[in-house]
Chain A
């Protein structure tokens, strides 16, 4: 049985930005924004995710893997070699930071699944998801913490500034950035527990505690997901993968599942919309994320910010030129964009959906 786990609880601060015109922005801005919210974390976890950072390898899945012991690396590589074409392997460049004494071995692989390994009706993405699940749940001490194309997550135990310096975040350039600082209350003090959480192109930073975790987890397990990271955030990431990629919901509909409207509001809608919203809740009741949260989720085509259905955690959005900012606090936005054209606090359950312009 799969119920005897210790769930991780944490409070946090988050921030993100997106350039609709796909202008690649250096990481220094997001670091500055996150560091302003130092008091929302306690130095036990911070992380960054960026899209558009590996243009030269954009057709390969970028696996970022952490190894508790260097020796574990070889069993993972054995598995990868058997299933993937490996275009490039390198240790993720880091910089020595005084505050970070101990770190796992961090390696990135640019890979493509071997065609002959994908059998039947399986999609390439399913294959990659299965690999991530397999390594993370079956190979002790190895963790694939990033598996998308032309994107990557960088995270660890430390405060936002130290983690940024350690991973040399300022050297990356991306058109979508998300970042997170963490205030865990019962952390295992483990690098894998920091945000963002990612799966394929999905990345999630999350502030909150999902009080419906138990059923969300069991629901996902019914569809073959293995929840190994013991945090709420993992649930959100996999839920989006299930709803959008595997079941074909569009992003607005998926948001209506995660933060479902109240029945009294659904009942007041015109018949067609009412029927649709009712069916969504009937079908996806177990996917409703109940309890306080604000979430930013990045994907290959955009960035979405969303609150829980009664807004129990903060989220502020601002726009300036082609850039949309989303953060826990307005000050974190103004730290890098002092004069936004528009600033607002989205209402409970109301998603802010920003899509990138089509690639030219």
Chain B
């Protein structure tokens, strides 16, 4: 699974993208947001407030209950500020 991080999530985590193999019990977006903070202090700090995180699965906005699969591209980012 490819993970992408944008804006302050990228700067706080320290990487823009990575490929991960989450444990099999990680089946949804919500599961992923619970698992990632266990990977290190940078993740725990950046993801401390789940309400501040938006998630896109395969470039579409996703909800916490949406499923994620091994080949997916999952992006995590703060609320958008374009325009």
Bound pair: A and B?
Answer: no
Interface of A with B (CB < 8 Å)? none
